[in-house]
Structure 1
Amino acid sequence: MKFINYKRYLLIPFLLGMGACSKYLDVNVTPNNPTSVTPAVLLPGAQAGTAFSNANELNRFAEVLVQHLAGAANSPSTYDVFQTNGADFGNQWTTEIYGGALVNYQKLIELGDATDSKAYSGIAKILKAYTFSIATDVWGDIPYSQALLGEKFLTPRLDKQEDIYKGNSSQGIQSLFDLVREGIKDLDSPSALKPGADDVIYGGNLTKWKQAGNTLLLKFAMTISRKEPALATSVINEVLTGNNYITTNANDMNFTFGASVGSQDPRYTYSFVSSFQNDIILSTRYLNLLNSLNDPRLPIFFTKPGANYVTIDNGFRGTLPTPVANWSRYNKYVTGNSGEGPVRLVTNFQRAFILAEAALRLGTPGDPQALYTEGIKASMTLAGLTADQINAYLTANPTVATLSGTNEQKIAQIITQKYIAWTGNGLEAWNDYRRTGYPVLQPSQNAAGIDGTRPVRAVYINNELQQNPNFPNPAPQSNVRVWWDVD
């Protein structure tokens, strides 16, 4: 892996096409004079890189795998029959994650420390941990502790996913948990410079950043909970004791794009603007699930241009529906009115469902039923339903509203509702599916790939396999589980 030299980091937002942040970026600033760059210049482009990493091609891959969407053509149609290879995600690995968001966060940390502006360092560390989690959850073992160090490590080693999550002091590997904790601590320190409008996510509200950081700890804990239940329990209890995490939709960690061409949410651009807009369509299986649950979010999540939703089954290889203008696609809940999104990264409904599952699986404090109901209500409220509409739905649908059966059956209910709430964020739904097996998804029609199995990781990109001798040879294929995936 040959990481971008810091002399080039200002180009990252433009490579991403992130015009939404252009008001914070001076195109006349020479990239050969990085000492003149302020944290306020770097922050919005870095945040945009993380949002792009979550919502662009990796999202399409995961949304098709979890069957929110079906692939009608091009790459999504190959993902839909479980085919993926090292040519698929080079831009995501190189430009969006490592050479985009992460290199900017590293520079932000350095600038924040150098200027006694710990507010920027803290935000950067929290988002750096989140962005690294995207990479390791998708690919498994990745360059981590030796990444982002410029010419010192042109071909960094791959750290084990276990060490990335748990840390390994003998190898100088800081855990994702400790990286977030360090970021939260920085936010309590004096800061010469503080973010304002340049912080696209929270507008410089450091209290909300602390809550987001603690909620991110809950996410990481639940991710590894099947593999490391004791550690997960400890982290969740730590966060609950601190009592400073997201508890309202208003404090969700979201990134909002602009609404002009070149600055839009990639899910909007791909689905409504690009020449690839007819590559993806609502999955018949997802439609059937929400119809079976009488779920009122269906028309909020997806369009219904005519009398019926227009869908295809996953893996379908027949004649596609016509006219394409009537296809059911992401609705404004996902993409915004004109492409502003937002990309939902860490949310209140997520926190509630995590704690509900943790109470059942790990015995952490909290009433699973109350937390489950809270998660459903948070998601439905986010979708625009009123309290009366939500209560009426729960009353009329007791099999949805009430957890029942064994603990495992209750967990299946929780994850199914979380899966629905995550519509538009396939990565989070895929993470939950891999570690729990819920909701139960049937293989696609015409399933191919490795032994016809749904991918449980992405394949390392070809460039890294060719250039960095630390990558394994042969590399693990898409049917090899990542460390935390024990289901």
Structure 2
Amino acid sequence: MMNKNIIKAATGILAALSLTITGCSKFLDINENPTKAVDVDPSYLLPSSQANIGMVIGNNFQVYGGIYAQFWTQDISSSQYKNIEQVNLDPASFDRPWQFLYAGTLQDLQVIIDKTNSKRLEQYAGISELLKAYSYQVLTDAFGDIPLRDAIKAGSQDILAPTYDPQKMVYDSIFAMINRGLSLIDPASTAKPGKDDLIFGGNMANWKAFGNTLKLRAYLRLLKVDSAFAAQGVASLAGSTFLTSDAKITYVSTGGSQNPLFAEILGLGRTQNLIASSTTVDQMNALKDPRVFTFYRTTPDTFGIAGIPQGSYKTTWDYNFSAPNTAVAAYGQNDSSALAPVKFISAAESYFLQAEAAAHGYLAGDAKTLYQQGITASFAAYNVAPGSYITDVVAAFPATGTEAQVKAIITQKYFAMCGNQNFEAWTEWRRTGYPSFLVRSLASVLPAGQMPQRLLYPNSEITRNPKFPGAKLAYDKVWWDAN
């Protein structure tokens, strides 16, 4: 679901990855003249930009995050993601997501904002500011310093040699974008998007909550690097509404409108490259977490859930192990995987963010109650009966000790994000060091003791941008990672 110029920018993209969400295909004619992007109505550009973000976080970054968060590992009988498992990364692998977000999403969102000259378009502009902030946070959390001031230009003209801005400046701009977006959004407005808003269907109250939740996420991201600024920012959100439902794109099984990860699996002949990592599975089994049967498939021999050690794909295993399930789009043999949503921010994440803020004393509310609401929201999202799990886990929530409470909150957030918010789970591990049970992949080629901490700048920047600031290593930490 993208216009022709975006497809051209994402060189080598599989035809199966083109998204045409049911009911929205009229907005996204891929035969549209790419030189006339500035003349396209926002009702066409908004779903295109949303789908592009969904493509990145639901496919490219979903795979990297899934392996580095150790929800998944490389299958022993295939090889598609061995280089990711090894952390032997090729900069060219990041050309596509970089182009999707810069040449596609951010350019289109800026066109919408520049066209805001009526009350009808104010709501489109408000959403666009929030999605710009979201996109820049994904980019900077993945790569570190990125182009921002020179990244996009009015008139749909690319800047070929943008200057890179430091992460602190990027985060300052993210907060400014969120504030502009929130100032434009009016839940009472009748002049707003409808089906062309693939995430909330034009529900502006949900967009207001999305903006507040995104701001809370961004402030907490900076907690270790600038605690005073983060604390003050979180406190400024007192009385705000936060998400109580998932911000997500829902897909269907026909017409090229599948979940983007499953669409790639189809393009690879349904090969099952991703299987369960024992890092996560063993922990969920030990806790008797019933969600493990939703996120993973049972093995034919025991009808239980089993993984293999992270990065042990070279080993010959004499027992069956689990694949990710259809609920997380990663089981290639069942078309139900096509229906799995891509979550931008989940309700569970929203509650866990609030719980962490409350544990620090920055936001009103009871951390334990919010923690329980986060776990409950995760179970509800997949219609899983919790049994005694929530009661048992909440009973074990530390009564005192901020760090102990934060550890419990982030660990449960990690389980809730299993297979559905992989990049965010990995990012939260980088920020907090939780969960504390992640291990070094057996296949890693990084120096002893090192873990993957960032993605590499794309080859297109290395070879074409004379202002490129210099390559980074996969174990170089980003600015806010003060662990």
Q: TM-score, normalised by structure 1?
A: 0.87
Q: Structure 2 vs 1, CA of residues 483 and 197 (structure 1 numbering), >3 Å: closer, same or farther? A: same
Q: Which runs of 5+ in 1 are unaligned?
A: 1-5, 167-174
| 2:344 matched residue in structure 1 | 345
**Aligned pairs (5 A) from 1:86-101:** 86-94=91-99, 96-101=100-105
Instruction: Report the Cα offset of residue 121 of structure 1.
Output: 0.6
Q: Structure 2 vs 1, CA of residues 106 and 12 (structure 1 numbering), >3 Å: closer, same or farther? A: farther
Distance 2:9 2:467 in 1: 26
Instruction: Determine helix, strand or coil for the equivalent of 1:345.
Output: strand
Match status 1:262 vs 2:260? no
Instruction: Report the Cα offset of residue 289 of structure 1.
Output: 0.7
Match status 1:224 vs 2:219? no
Instruction: Report the Cα offset of residue 443 of structure 1.
Output: 1.0
Instruction: Report the Cα offset of residue 267 of structure 1.
Output: 2.4
Residue pair 1:83, 1:450 contacting (<8 A) in 2 also: no
Q: Structure 2 vs 1, CA of residues 64 and 162 (structure 1 numbering), >3 Å: closer, same or farther? A: same
Residue pair 1:67, 1:314 contacting (<8 A) in 2 also: yes
One-letter amino acid of the structure 1 residue matched with residue 406 of structure 2: I
Q: Structure 2 vs 1, CA of residues 26 and 86 (structure 1 numbering), >3 Å: closer, same or farther? A: closer
Distance 1:294 1:161 in 2: 40
Match status 1:420 vs 2:415? yes
Deviations 1:154-209 (A, max 9, x none): 2110010011112xxxxxxxx20110110111113997952111111111111111
Match status 1:402 vs 2:397? yes
**Aligned pairs (5 A) from 1:106-121:** 106-113=110-117, 117-121=121-125
Match status 1:283 vs 2:277? yes
Instruction: Report the Cα offset of residue 71 of structure 1.
Output: 1.6
Instruction: Report the Cα offset of residue 332 of structure 1.
Output: 3.2
Instruction: Determine helix, strand or coil for the equivalent of 1:485.
Output: coil
**Aligned pairs (5 A) from 1:27-46:** 27=30, 29-34=32-37, 36-46=39-49
Instruction: Report the Cα offset of residue 346 of structure 1.
Output: 1.1
| 2:163 matched residue in structure 1 | 157
Distance 1:257 1:220 in 2: 28
Distance 1:293 1:466 in 2: 49
Residue pair 1:62, 1:427 contacting (<8 A) in 2 also: yes
Q: Which residue of the other structure, out of 472, 477, 480, is the alignment partner of 1:476?
A: 472
Instruction: Determine helix, strand or coil for the equivalent of 1:33.
Output: helix
Distance 1:407 1:35 in 2: 50
Instruction: Report the Cα offset of residue 87 of structure 1.
Output: 2.6
Between stretches 75-84 and 417-426, larger displacement belongs to: 75-84
Q: Which residue of the other structure, out of 72, 89, 96, is the alignment partner of 1:84?
A: 89
Instruction: Report the Cα offset of residue 309 of structure 1.
Output: 3.0
Identity %: 31
Between stretches 156-165 and 372-381, larger displacement belongs to: 372-381
Instruction: Report the Cα offset of residue 256 of structure 1.
Output: 1.4
Q: Structure 2 vs 1, CA of residues 446 and 190 (structure 1 numbering), >3 Å: closer, same or farther? A: closer
Q: TM-score, normalised by structure 2?
A: 0.88
One-letter amino acid of the structure 1 residue matched with residue 101 of structure 2: I
Deviations 1:306-357 (A, max 9, x none): 223353211104345589xx75233233239351321111122112111222
Instruction: Report the Cα offset of residue 102 of structure 1.
Output: 1.5
Residue pair 1:221, 1:235 contacting (<8 A) in 2 also: yes
Q: Which residue of the other structure, out of 123, 126, 147, is the alignment partner of 1:122?
A: 126
Instruction: Report the Cα offset of residue 58 of structure 1.
Output: 1.7
| 1:184 matched residue in structure 2 | 182
Residue pair 1:84, 1:449 contacting (<8 A) in 2 also: no
Distance 1:27 1:66 in 2: 35
Distance 2:19 2:165 in 1: 30
**Aligned pairs (5 A) from 1:6-85:** 8=5, 17-20=18-21, 21-27=24-30, 29-34=32-37, 36-72=39-75, 73-85=78-90
Distance 2:457 2:402 in 1: 36
| 1:454 matched residue in structure 2 | 451
Q: Structure 2 vs 1, CA of residues 338 and 313 (structure 1 numbering), >3 Å: closer, same or farther? A: closer
One-letter amino acid of the structure 2 residue matched with residue 486 of structure 1: A
Distance 2:272 2:384 in 1: 29
Distance 1:276 1:377 in 2: 33
Instruction: Report the Cα offset of residue 292 of structure 1.
Output: 1.0
Instruction: Report the Cα offset of residue 37 of structure 1.
Output: 1.7
Distance 2:38 2:466 in 1: 33
Deviations 1:66-122 (A, max 9, x none): 10001224352222233223132111112x211222221112212234786111111
Distance 1:187 1:354 in 2: 23
Instruction: Determine helix, strand or coil for the equivalent of 2:344.
Output: strand
Instruction: Report the Cα offset of residue 369 of structure 1.
Output: 1.2
Match status 1:309 vs 2:305? yes
Distance 2:61 2:466 in 1: 25
Q: Structure 2 vs 1, CA of residues 121 and 366 (structure 1 numbering), >3 Å: closer, same or farther? A: same
Distance 2:170 2:124 in 1: 23
Q: Structure 2 vs 1, CA of residues 244 and 363 (structure 1 numbering), >3 Å: closer, same or farther? A: closer
Q: Which runs of 5+ in 2 are unaligned?
A: 330-334
Instruction: Determine helix, strand or coil for the equivalent of 2:146.
Output: coil
RMSD: 2.8
Deviations 1:119-144 (A, max 9, x none): 11111111111011111000000011
Distance 1:429 1:316 in 2: 22
Residue pair 1:12, 1:45 contacting (<8 A) in 2 also: no
Distance 1:182 1:435 in 2: 27
Match status 1:443 vs 2:440? yes
Q: Which residue of the other structure, out of 178, 198, 201, is the alignment partner of 1:200?
A: 198
Instruction: Report the Cα offset of residue 152 of structure 1.
Output: 7.3
| 2:328 matched residue in structure 1 | 334
Residue pair 1:226, 1:486 contacting (<8 A) in 2 also: yes
| 2:332 matched residue in structure 1 | none
Distance 1:274 1:225 in 2: 41
Distance 2:4 2:83 in 1: 38
Instruction: Report the Cα offset of residue 407 of structure 1.
Output: 2.5
Distance 1:228 1:81 in 2: 33
One-letter amino acid of the structure 1 residue matched with residue 95 of structure 2: G
Residue pair 2:325, 2:337 contacting (<8 A) in 1 also: no
Q: Structure 2 vs 1, CA of residues 148 and 74 (structure 1 numbering), >3 Å: closer, same or farther? A: farther
One-letter amino acid of the structure 2 residue matched with residue 17 of structure 1: S
Residue pair 1:415, 1:432 contacting (<8 A) in 2 also: yes
One-letter amino acid of the structure 2 residue matched with residue 236 of structure 1: V
Residue pair 1:455, 1:478 contacting (<8 A) in 2 also: yes
Instruction: Determine helix, strand or coil for the equivalent of 1:267.
Output: helix
Instruction: Report the Cα offset of residue 60 of structure 1.
Output: 0.6
